[in-house]
Amino acid sequence: LGYDVTNLRYPPWLINDFRLPPSLLPAAVVPPGRPHATVSPAVAANLSLPPGVRIVGGTTDSNAAFFAAAGGCHPPLGTAVTSLGSTLALKQLSRRFVEDATRGVYSHRCPGAKDDDVDEARWLIGGASNVGCAA
Name the more confident of 3 and 44.
44
Q: Of all helices (H) and strands (E), which one includes residue 68?
A: helix 61-70
Let me know: does 112 contact 95? Beta carbons within 8 Å. Answer: no
Please tell me whether residue 3 adopts helix, strand or coil conformation: coil
Q: Is the pLDDT of residue 28 over 90?
A: no
Percentage of the residues of the chain whose pLDDT score is greater than 90? 47
Pairing of strands 106-110, 122-129: antiparallel
Task: Decide if pLDDT at 116 tops 80.
Answer: no
Looking at 58-67, 76-85, 107-116, 124-133, which range is the least confident one? 107-116
* β-sheet with 88-94: strand ranges across: 80-84, 88-94, 122-129, 106-110
The reported pLDDT for the residue numbered 110 is: 86
CA 116 to chain centroid, in Å, comes to: 14
Q: State residue 120's pLDDT score.
A: 72
